Amino acid sequence: MAAVMEAFEALTTPPTLYYAAAAVCAGMLFLVRFLLGSPSASFSISTTFSGRRPREVFDILTDFDRAPQLMENCVRMRKVSDGPVGVGTRLEEIRSVSGVEETVELVVAAWEPPAMYAIYADTMGIRVQYTYSLEDNGSGGTVVSCLCEVSTTVYLKRSLIPLVLSAMRKEDGDHLDKIVARLADLERKTK
């Protein structure tokens, strides 16, 4: 019994008690930061389309019927809203991910031909938006920059942002380079 009393006294002396309280507070702070996380995160990529002016590149990137030829996992993409393409236009993309087809609704968030456009998808409270900026490189080519932003307004989903961003970076981190390569392959085959 004396040993138990000594252990209790050791745990309840001020320095030990302060350390224990500090450890509990630090753990709670970590948990709060993990659960709340950041409401958004992003990554960016860029590539050059050599010998192509911004208007031509814009038309290639926004030819949604042609998307399956240029995008690796795209099975089909089609416009589902009426009228010309512009802000608010809805698109339906069918993607094959690990052999499973899934349908995603995309919405045009910005449309400024031939300099910029943005498309987003909202899924289970998380928004993924791709913003493409096109700029003449001064030597007959076009530099395309893509900003991928992942965000949420659902408080408890903030902890998922880094995971979703990591998945998007893994899946699409080189998609502009792949489009350039596939476009070159298509042109070689048609010559």
pLDDT in tens, 88-122: 999 999 999 888 999 999 999 999 999 999 999 99
71 in the same domain as 24: no
Same domain, 48 and 13: no
Omega before 162 within 30 of 0, i.e. cis? no
Number of folded domains that form the chain: 2
- Shared domain check, 72 and 161: yes
Q: Judge whether 46 and 141 are in contact, CB under 8 Å.
A: no
3-state secondary structure of 146: strand
Helix, strand, coil percent content, the chain, rounded in steps of 5: 45, 35, 20
Same domain, 31 and 42: no
> How far apart are the two ends of the chain, measured CA to CA in Å?
92
Cα distances (angstroms) measured from residue 120 to each of 21, 126, 163: 45, 10, 18
Q: Model pTM? A: 0.78
User: Which of the four pLDDT bands, split at 50, 70 and 90, describes residue 16?
Assistant: low
24 pLDDT exceeds 60?
A: no
Find the domain containing 167 and state its range: 38-190
Q: Which positions ≥6 away from 186 have C-beta within 8 Å?
A: 69
Residues 184 and 120 in one domain: yes
Same domain, 62 and 112: yes
3 phi and psi angles, rounded to 5 deg:
-65, -40
Residue 96: closest CA among 120, 123, 75: 75
Is the domain of 56 the same as that of 24? no
> Model confidence at 185, in pLDDT bands (50, 70, 90)?
confident
Q: How confident is the model at residue 28 (pLDDT cuts 50, 70, 90)?
A: low
